[in-house]
Chains A and B, each alone.
Chain A
Amino acid sequence: MANIISDETIEYVGILAKLELSGEEKENAKQDMEKMLDYIDTLNELDTAGIEPMSHVFPVQNVFREDVVTNGDGHEETLKNAPLQKDNSFEVPKTIG
C-alpha cells in the first residue's frame, strides 16, 4: 500500500466527524482509508485532460419548483424523531454560539 494515514490524521478526522474511536477502531479505519486513497491513485492514472468535471450523474439541469407553499404544520412529524423535546423544540445539550 502506497498511502499511509498517520495517527495525527486519524485523530483529526475523528474530531471532524465527532467520533471517539478505540485504538482498534482507529487501526481499522486507517487501513480502510489507505485503501480508498490507493483506489483514488488508480483512478488518477487515467488521462482526464480536456474532460469537463462531472457534477451530476444524470444529464438533467434546471430542476425547479415554483415558490408556492405546499407544506402545512409539520411539527408533530418532525418532533417524532426527537429523543428529547420541550416546548415544540428539540432539546439538546447546551451549546454556546
Chain B
Amino acid sequence: MIPEFESFNLPILSLVVLTPALVALALCLVDRNNRALIRQLALMGSFLTLLFSLLMVANFDSSLGTMQLEEQHSWIESLGITYHLGVDGISILLVLLTCFTMPFVFLSTWACIDDRVKEFHIALLLLQTGMVGAFVSLDLILFYLYYEAMLIPMYLIIGIWGGRERIYAALKFFIFTMVGSLLMFLGILYLYHHAGTFDLPVLMERLRTTHPLDSDQQLWLFLAFTLSFAIKVPLFPLHTWLPDAHVQAPTAGSVVLAGVLLKMGTYGLIRFAIPLFPEAAFDLQSMMAWLAIIGIVFGACMALVQNDIKKLIAYSSVSHLGFVVLACFIPNLESLTGAILQMVNHGLSTGMLFLMIGIIYERRHTRELADYGGICKVVPIFSIFFMLAVLSSIGLPGLNGFVGEFLLLYGVFSSVPLWGVLASTGVLLGALYMLNMVKKFLFGPLVHEENRHIADLNTRELIYLTPFVVMMVWLGLYPAPFIKMVQPTLTLYIEMLQN
C-alpha cells in the first residue's frame, strides 16, 4: 500500500530539484578544512533528495500518462517566463536515475578527492540541481537555464580535478556544448516569436492548432534543437569531445557525465526536438538513423582498439547511445520504451564501470590495459562486480541491459528491418570489445608484480556498488513496474505524433 502524501500539498518536484542547491548553499558556510562534515552534509543532502524522488514516485499515477505533480508559478512575467515543472513517464525514470546515482557518487569521492573538497561538493550538488531541473522543466527558458547551468559545474569539475590534459578537455567540452545550446536558444526565441509562449504544453497545442509552422521553419528549428542535443548525446560525428572529457574527468565527473548528462541529449530529442517539429523529424528520419547507426558501429570499432580503459568505455557510450538515438526516431511503443530503458540501463552499467575503474585507478594509478591482467585472483570480489557491470552492459539476459536492448531492437526491426540488422551488429561488437577488455584486464597470467598486492573492495566501496547491482538485477528480472511507468505516456506520445 502506497502511503498517501498528497494531502500535504508538498511541492515535491521543487524539493527534488532545489534540495541539492540548498545543501550547496549550506556548504558554503562550512569551514573548508572540516572535510568530514562537508562530505557527510553533501551525502545526507543527496540521500534526502533521493527520498524526495521516491516520494515523487509514490505520488505518481503511472496509469495516467499525462504530466503530473505540475507546479506553475509566474516568474519573469515581463518576458513570459514561468516556473513550470512537471513529470511524466518520459522523465520520471531519468529523475530517479539521477537521484539514485548521486549519493553513491558522493561516497565514491571520499578517498580520491582531497584537494578543494568544499568546492568539489558544491559543484556536484549544483550539477545535480541542473540535471534534475532540466528533466522536469516544462518552460523552454527554464529548461534552457538548467541545461546551461549544468555546464559550469561540469566544466569546473573536469578542469580543476581532472587529469593531465584537463584544461584542453574542459574547454572542448564547454565550447562544443555552448555552440549547440546557443543555436537552440535562438530556436527557442524564434518559437516564442512565432507562438508567443515559452510554456511547453501550451506551445505544443498552439503549434498543432493555431500557429502551425511551415516546413522550412520546422526544418531549421529542428536542426537548431537537434544540433544541440546531438552534441550532448553525442551523436557521430559530434562525439569528439566525449573521449577527452571522459578520460580527463575525475571518476565522479565521468560517472555523472556518462550516467546522466549524456541522457540530456536523448531526452531533449524525445521531449523537444521530435514532438515540436514532427514533420521535420520525419523528413530527416533516415539521415538521423544513419548517423546513429554509423555512431553505433564506429563507437564499437573505436572501443575495440583502445588501450585506455576509460577511453574504451567512453567510446562504448557513443555506441550505446547511438541505439537510443536510433530508437527515438522510430515512433513505436517498443522502440521508445526500449530507448528510455536503455538510457537508464546505460546510466547504471556505465556509471558502475566508471566507478570501478576509479577504484582500481586509486590503487594502481594507471588505466592502461597492458598494466593489468590476471588480477581476478588478487581481487576476486572486485572482479565479480566488474564482470556483472560488463555483462549488464553487453545485455546478458537476466540483467537490465537485455530488456532494454531487446525491446529497442525489436521496435526498430519491426519498422525498418535493415536498420535493425545493422544496429544489431553493434550488440555483437559490444560483446566483443567488452569481453576482450575483461580478458586483458581481469584474466590471463598475472605478469606485473605490482598487481599482486592490490587491495580488494573495502566496505565503503561495497556499499556504493551494491545498490547498482541490485538495480541491475531488479531491472533485468522484473522490469514490469518500470515499463508500466513509461508506457502510458509513450502511448499518448505516439498518438500525438501520428496526428
The answer to whether A and B assemble together is: no
A residues bordering B, Cβ < 8 Å?
A: none
